[in-house]
Structure 1
């Protein structure tokens, strides 16, 4: 059974006006438990809109998005916020850490909002900090550590709730190439440990770490690729060639 089902999702902005914009026209795909899926497409193709619907930050105009049996479109504002805390983890391009909080408290934040007991928060953090190699910076502040370390802290914050689904929006977009590779290797490890990941990216190098890549064009799934037994380089080349075809308007 799929963890996530997108069933003919359509998103129209300004639907009640003469200036309708169809950001998503017909998105239909599923993601299984433990999958690692990358989503690519040109600017304006609908990637961010799709991610926002999966993240319960927006609702589909038509169709449905169902995560672990829950129709996301049926959630009210308060229930959606609680659902995000309990079932979703987020990693952003700009880290979205609070500079007024220590790295430890940034990681604890979703658990604090869920009123988790301090002993349980510490129990969850210890192995996570070790696995992400942030033990030595845990009690420093975001401004005192590197961008790569900040992204590791952000990943820890996303994973500490044991989410059903990890959503990553351009997670290497603000990092240099070496640090990007370190973060992508961490995503590989996290996925190998069973975490389901959906990553939106413009980078073929980043997408090559996923097991499957979906390409969006004009609000629809244009194509999909599976990594299979290919090397990272082989899969990256295949992704790059598909993006060239998509950009040039090929069918």
Structure 2
């Protein structure tokens, strides 16, 4: 199904306060690849290094050692300005708390990354139309974030992430601020977006959320502890496997 390596992490290490007397190794040795079109979940206990890993992929931080490459581009070789441009052109972001600007309409929130990239207005209009339909946001697109529910705000945030046509959609606890029913709706949208070919990497603490992914990586003490593939398993059976693995990880098992 997948035939091209989109993202490659090779022996990535991240040490904070490396020159101090108390360095902290957030990531000790992480290597994995993500194929174009995959949906990968990343799980682990608090402090395991999940967010640090996502920040390196997002070009928001650099690895201390090792390399991270997206589409063959060494992410650590980018200057600060180049990294900002690269994020706009190649990455989409969905956060736990939506990060919408209350002063802008939902439509203008979606347009924002294209405005920053100086995309022509007619191109912005062309790109938003299929997203409005697919994400079912037609009724709220011209309202403001404060006028819609949390789940609707997250739909707007997903549209903002997808309008740049990113190589990878990075999601950090995307259902963490939502109730279970709304979370299910958002995860179903992720399934649909992935089925249309969008690569997704999602950090989550929820086995239910991770069960939507095709593969789950578990991080423990700054290393990949284990990985699971959904294969032909039902989502329910895969969720049980994920929960059992998290229980083993939490209990210090091997």
TM-score class, shorter: over 0.9
Task: State how far apart, in whole Å, the 2-side matches of 1:15 and 1:28 are.
Answer: 21
Per the normalisation by structure 1, the TM-score is: 1.00
The match for 2:221 is 218
The match for 1:66 is 69
Partner of 1:136, secondary structure, is coil
Partner of 2:92, secondary structure, is strand
Partner of 2:129, secondary structure, is helix
Q: 2:140 matched to 1:144?
A: no
Per the normalisation by structure 2, the TM-score is: 0.98
2:41 to 14, 38, 43: 38
Task: State how far apart, in whole Å, the 2-side matches of 1:241 and 1:25 are.
Answer: 24
Q: Measure how far apart 1:100 and its partner are.
A: 0.4
Q: 2:186 matched to 1:172?
A: no
The match for 2:50 is 47
Q: 2:90 matched to 1:82?
A: no
- Deviation readout 1:90-140 (Å, 9 max, x if unpaired): 000000000000000000000000000000000000111111000111110
Aligned residues: 251
The match for 1:209 is 212
Mind listing any 5+ residue stretches in structure 1 that lack a counterpart? none
Partner of 1:163, secondary structure, is coil
Task: State how far apart, in whole Å, the 2-side matches of 1:58 and 1:239 are.
Answer: 29
Task: State how far apart, in whole Å, the 2-side matches of 1:177 and 1:26 are.
Answer: 34
Task: State how far apart, in whole Å, the 2-side matches of 1:163 and 1:48 are.
Answer: 20
Q: 2:237 matched to 1:234?
A: yes
Partner of 1:137, secondary structure, is coil
Q: Mapping of 1:93-132 within 5 angstroms?
A: 93-132=96-135
The match for 1:92 is 95
Task: State how far apart, in whole Å, the 2-side matches of 1:70 and 1:105 are.
Answer: 30
Task: State how far apart, in whole Å, the 1-side matches of 2:120 and 2:139 are.
Answer: 24
Partner of 2:28, secondary structure, is strand
Task: State how far apart, in whole Å, the 1-side matches of 2:137 and 2:164 are.
Answer: 17
Partner of 1:4, secondary structure, is strand
The match for 1:29 is 32
- Deviation readout 1:12-58 (Å, 9 max, x if unpaired): 00011111000000000000000000000000000000000000000
Task: State how far apart, in whole Å, the 1-side matches of 2:134 and 2:205 are.
Answer: 27
Partner of 1:101, secondary structure, is coil
Partner of 2:93, secondary structure, is strand
Q: Say what the alpha-carbon RMSD is for the aligned residues.
A: 0.4
* Structure 1 moving runs of 4+ over 3 Å: none
Task: State how far apart, in whole Å, the 2-side matches of 1:204 and 1:54 are.
Answer: 22
